[in-house]
Amino acid sequence: MLKNRKILICVTGGIAVYKAVALVSKLSQAGAEVKVIMSESATRFVNPLSFQVMSRNDVYLDTFDEKDPAVVAHIDLADWADLVLVAPATANVIGKLANGIADDMVTTTLLAVTADVWIAPAMNVHMYGHPAVMRNMSRLHGDGYRFIEPSEGFLACGYVGKGRLEEPERIVELIKARFDDVQPAAPRLLEGKKVIVTAGPTRERIDPVRYVSNFSSGKMGYAMAEAAARLGAETVLVTGPVELEIPAGVRAVHVESAREMFEAVLAEFDTADAVIKAAAVADYRPKTVHSGKMKKQEGDASIELERTTDILKELGKRKSHQCLIGFAAETDRVEEYAKGKLERKNLDFIIANDVTNPQGGFGSETNVVTLYGRDGSSEPFPALEKKELAERLLSRIFGGGRNDR
């Protein structure tokens, strides 16, 4: 599965360097061609000879140690790699990379890389949770870097918590899955297109401490945004409040209310080629929003609600060239309601699912949907992980392929 894949491992200083030796060994056994760059501090934990033996390649240590006079080593390595993995990644190298600092062989090479860069942090649990480290990781995530989250357990410093470098076997699985995803022709169906995706719930405030909302996790919308980016689109994710990481290569706009979501979508709409409306937007909001906390009183209380803007219907009225794709999360008469929504809101496609299905409800890792088209077509999709389902849906919508690949 990894035969002839070129993987560059950047090893930085921490006790988890010993795991990187095993990682290089396993990648080599899987058929990958592996090269290693070590920071100076990494050499304090493991001798470079260990990596040379496991990779069967020279190990790079110094920006000024040019092994081949015909090339500039750090540029040549950056151009060579199909994938770059920083493992273990210390707080120090994460901070340097987030701020564009290039003061050794690792960071100089990383700034010249155009391939995907994955970062596998390993550090003390309190270091990992420090605001500066979290801020740097967030910046890198926004720049398109992917993180392999550390696992929880007993750390070398004696603490128990999150900070252990993910196990080499799991990292190899992730790398295999990445290349497996791109091997089947991986058409860039959305190259040159701009796609807006909405995701998550909205919150409609009652007072400073209470709001009206729903159970949407945002997982399906985030999966659609990730798939659109992978297929080459300039992707804008307009997201309500959720506990999810922004996918690599996606520009996020954070909103809270239905009004804010509508305004954010409209700001991007004229230049968009497609809108995928996966958010679960509140249909109603409190007519009166209290400036102070509502106090508990004797007896019942009632809140008068008013309609929010029907974002998808408004987009249907305004669209010129855009492809509009909606979602219909229903509990009964799914097909009837989905087809009605498709017609009323002037959509091109609608993706319908029964949220009472345990394989496709709010917060689940899988979904079971049916895609309905304006041309009268309908196509069911079986229970699939949301990331896989998202890519199949977009391939079907924009490429015309069937979902049984």
**Rounded distance between C-alpha atoms, residue 114 and residue 301, angstroms:** 59
Q: Tell me the Ramachandran region of residue 294: left when phi exceeds 0, alpha when psi lies from -120 to 50, beta otherwise.
A: beta
Question: Can you tell me whether residue 365 is helix, strand or coil?
Answer: coil
Rounded to whole angstroms, how far apart are CA atoms 95 and 135?
A: 9
Q: Residue 351: which of 333, 364, 363, 335 has the closest Cα?
A: 335
The predicted structure's pLDDT at residue 69: 78
Residue 45: the pLDDT is 92
User: Residue 327, annotated ligand binder?
Assistant: yes
pLDDT recorded at residue 37: 96
- What span, in angstroms and rounded, lies between the C-alpha atoms of 323 and 399? 13
Q: Is the peptide bond before 88 cis (omega within 30 degrees of 0)?
A: yes
CA dist., res. 265 & res. 253, Å (int):
9
Residue 121 is predicted with a pLDDT of 92
Look up tokens 């949770």; give the residue: 129
Residue among 75, 156, 157, 186 flagged as catalytic? 157
Q: And the tokens for 405?
A: 């690949």
Q: Please, where in the chain does CATH 3.40.50.10300 lie?
A: 194-399
Residues 277-330 pLDDT 10s: 999 999 899 999 999 998 888 888 888 999 999 999 999 999 999 999 999 988
Look at the domain 194-399 and name its fold: Rossmann fold (3.40.50)
Residue in 69, 60, 146, 147 with CA at minimum distance from that of residue 104 = 60
Q: What is the structure's pLDDT at 311?
A: 94
Is 323 tagged catalytic?
Answer: no
Instruction: Confirm whether residue 3 is marked as ligand binding.
Output: no
Are residues 179 and 222 in contact, defined by beta-carbon separation less than 8 angstroms?
no
Tell whether 354 is in a known binding site.
no
pLDDT at 183: 43
Contact 370, 352 (CB under 8 A): yes
Q: How far is 371 from 377, CA to CA, in rounded Å? A: 8
DSSP three-state, residue 381 = strand
Residues found in the chain? 405
Using CA atoms, how far apart are residues 253 and 349, in angstroms rounded to an integer?
Answer: 24
Question: Strand 146-147 relative to strand 116-121: parallel, antiparallel, unpaired?
Answer: parallel
> How many whole angstroms from its chain centre is CA 257?
23
State the Cα–Cα distance between residues 189 and 22, nearest whole angstrom: 37
Question: Mean pLDDT of successive 10-residue segments in the chain (405 residues)?
Answer: 89 92 94 94 94 94 83 89 94 94 94 92 87 88 83 67 82 83 57 94 92 90 92 93 87 94 95 95 91 87 91 94 92 91 95 80 78 92 87 88 43
**What is the CATH code of the structural domain delimited by 6-182?**
3.40.50.1950
Question: 194 labelled as ligand-binding?
Answer: no
Q: Is the pTM of this model over 0.95?
A: no
Q: How far apart are CA 54 and CA 34, in angstroms?
A: 9
**Cβ proximity of 326 and 241 under 8 Å:** no
For 297, the token pair is 């009183």
To the question of whether residue 143 is assigned a binding role by annotation, the answer is no
Residue spans in the chain of domains classed CATH 3.40.50.1950: 6-182
